[in-house]
Amino acid sequence: MKAASCALVLIVASSCGVIGDLRPGPTIAPLISAAFLSVHLFIGDNGDAQEKARLPQLRDAIAGALPNAWATATVGRGHLSVRTDGDIDVELDGTSGTSALMQHQRGGRVTSRMIAVHTIDGSRRLTVPELMATVLHELGHIWCCFGPGTKDGHWEEAPTGFSSVGIMNSPMTCTATPGSDPICPSVFSDRELAEMKLSGP
Ligand SMILES: [Zn+2]
């Protein structure tokens, strides 16, 4: 470890993947708006006893912080509400796995969307900041990222080291100081905001 920075870099490898038949690009614009998004966040039945005990707290923490996190991530251009009849379902799954946005299309239209967020990565139980970044990342996949410079929904050239700006990289890099919570990317980059139709005036 570098003594100068005293930080370790965490790679959130679980926060990646788009399942479905969406790639390489949407045939029509997604009907969900990043400017006014509603999310149904709920917990699943999976997980060991320890994780099942943790899931309600995780859900409450993420649900409470997500509206502000979305506003921050979109530099104030996006509004998000958490409610039971949201535009998109986000399930917290208490097992290890690859978190993903799953989309299905019929006749060029997206007929269903769901995000599964796994709360364990290998044997590591993910923290709220890591899970928050994962939720933002997977929500970003509704619109991002397509076209030149992207591969499987992510930017081909990922930054080396930690940056708080830029959420649609794979893997996502968080940074952590021993004894405190990790700090993860929290703001969509300009090109990400452009793909989300949230560019400035
Ligand atoms: Zn991804």
d(CA 53, CA 51): 5
Average pLDDT over residues 143-148: 90
Gyration radius of the chain over CA positions = 16
Using an 8 Å Cβ cutoff, are 92 and 68 in contact? Answer: no
pLDDT at 201: 67
For 172, the token pair is: 């996502």
Using an 8 Å Cβ cutoff, are 187 and 162 in contact? Answer: no
Show me where the domains of the chain are located.
9-195
For 27, the token pair is: 């045939």
Cα 47 to middle of ligand 1, angstroms: 23
pLDDT at 19: 53
Q: What is the mean pLDDT of the chain?
A: 86
d(CA 77, CA 191): 14
Cα 164 to middle of ligand 1, angstroms: 16
Using an 8 Å Cβ cutoff, are 45 and 93 in contact? Answer: no
Phi, psi dihedrals of residue 65, rounded to the nearest 5°: -95, -15
Looking at the DSSP bridge assignments, the partners of residue 125 are 120
Average pLDDT over residues 18-43: 72
Cα 145 to middle of ligand 1, angstroms: 9
pLDDT > 60? residue 6: no
pLDDT > 70? residue 23: no
pLDDT > 60? residue 4: no
Give the Cβ contact number of residue 39 at 10 Å: 22
Quote the DSSP letter at residue 14. Answer: T
pLDDT digits (tens, 9 = 90+) for 156-188: 988 888 999 999 998 888 998 888 889 999 999
Alpha helix ranges (H) inside 39-84: 49-73
Cα 134 to middle of ligand 1, angstroms: 8
d(CA 96, CA 101): 16
pLDDT at 14: 43
pLDDT > 70? residue 77: yes
Q: How far is CA 49 from the centre of its chain?
A: 25
Cα 118 to middle of ligand 1, angstroms: 13
Cα 13 to middle of ligand 1, angstroms: 9
CATH code of the region 9-195: 3.40.390
With b for 16 or more beta-carbon neighbours within 10 A and e for fewer, the 83-119 pattern comes to eeebbbbbbbbbebbebbbbbeeeeeebeebbbbbbb
